[in-house]
Structure formats: C-alpha cells, structure tokens
Amino acid sequence: MLLLSCPDQTGVVATVADFVWRNGGNIIDAEQHTDEVDGVFFQRVEFTLDDFVFGRDRLPDAFAPVAERFGMDVTVRYSADRPRLAILASRAPHCLVDLLSRSAAGELPAELAVVVSNHPDHADLVEFHGVPFVHAPVGDDPAAQDRTVRELLQAREIERVVLARYMRILSPEFVDAFPQRIINIHHSFLPAFVGAEPYRQASERGVKVIGATAHYVTAELDEGPIIEQDVTRVSHRDGVDDLARAGRDLEVSVLARAVRADLENRVLVRGGRTIVFH
C-alpha cells in the first residue's frame, strides 16, 4: 500500500490510480483527505501485487517519478508484513491482558515478541500466552534501567512498542530510537489532566465526562500526536475509584484501536497531528 501526502493539486488521484493499473495492480481500498487550511492532500491506497509486473522490492523506485512530480512524501507498506511488537507494562494489568488476548486471537497483525515490565507481577500471565517475559527492575538507577530496556528491544529487533500503562517516563534517547513507533495510553482526555493522577484531578474539578487518549510518544510528556480518544459520562456521585474503574474500560478499547490502526498502516503523521484512515 501507499501512504502519501503532498500539496493539494489536480491529478494526484488519477495519476496514482493509473500507476497501479498500468503495472498490473488492483486497488482494493482507497481513502483520501484534504486539509483545506494547510492545502495538503493525504491518501492511503491499498492494492494487490499478485499480477504486478515487478516485485515488491522495486515498488518504491518505480513510484519515485510520481512522487517527485507532485512533491509527495511517500511511505510504502505491505499488509503481509508482521512487525515485531513489544509491550511495556507496570503493575496495572488491564491493558496488557487485553492486548495479550487480542494477539492470541489473531486480531493484531504483528509478532508479539516480548513483554517487559519493571515489576515481576505478570510473568505467569505472559508466559501462559507463550510470550517471553523480561523483568527489568528500576532499582536505584532509573537511567540504567531505561538504557537496559532500550538495548533489549533493539537486540530483539523490535519495530513497534506499546506502553500498556507503563508508568515510567522514557528518556529522549529511548524515544529517538523508535521515532513514531511508540504508542502510549494516557488515562485522560488529553490535553486535559496530564501527569500521573488525572482521575484525581478530574474528580477535584467535578468533570462530567472522563476520557482516555492513545498517542505516539515524543520527548515532551503526553504531547505526542493523538491516534485515538474516547469518553464516557460521569457524575458528581462518582469518586476517584469510580472514575478510575470507568476509565480502565476506556483505556483498554482506545489503546487497542490505536494499536490496530498503527499496525494496519492507517495512520499518517503531519507535525503534531495525525490523519487516521478507516
């Protein structure tokens, strides 16, 4: 498939479709969006390669003249590829349990290669699902633990990282090693209530809705491009524990939707925002 963005102009859709047709492909899904404020066109085109006139390794070079003509930024992805995925978790189990179950059911188009935690609590659960588990305690040297986890993921050739309520702040070096490849679930409707205790903040403000946000991780805490969000109504009768309980349901579903969108190559990032195709 092709994920592309370029200045909005006539002929882009027709030229991309013509490229696929002339080379023996069959378009099975196509979505597009025009940002009329910035004048930018975005498109996701999924097509078959069964009867293509050349192999997939030649596709990027073959499409390069089209990209140059329209000033495109282009990413070529293949739906058959299954990136190596790592999950980082702490003590809260709900997001980890859900992702393990979805992976076992074949819902995530990825190879779940390892689960890493700064606590040993989930070792039996993870190993029950046939996934390697690594305990990486923080101890007295958080920087060393951060480096250990980063090097472990790089040694295992991890391509995507999911923070399933991993309650550690990643170093800039860690984030730089996986640019736009780390997804975090934040237990709040960002940009409201950043930090570690959003449900307490929400309770103190007397909010009427609470939310959850899945986003790509950047060096700025809880500021990365947002992939998925959802909310549920609450009332003055709900205490902090009630908000947290309702929030856990949101976190599970929001994180799963964001991870699937990323793994299915349905997300384009532009600046601090995302275009998420359906």
C-alpha distances (whole Å) from 119 to each of 64, 89, 125, 142, 277 are: 47, 8, 13, 13, 36
Token pair 């498109």: residue:
43
Task: Report CA torsion sign: 127, 129, 134, 139.
Answer: negative
Number of H helices, E strands in the chain: 8, 13
Beta strands in 49-186 (DSSP E): 73-76, 84-89, 111-117, 133-135, 160-164, 182-186
Distance of alpha carbon 189 from the chain centroid? 17
8 A C-beta contact, residue 12 and residue 43: yes
In Å, the largest CA–CA distance within the chain is 64
Angle at 206 between CA 205 and CA 209, to 5 degrees: 110
Active-site positions read 222
8 A C-beta contact, residue 160 and residue 181: yes
- Cα separation, 189 vs 212, whole angstroms: 5
Residue 83, token pair as written in the block: 């990136």
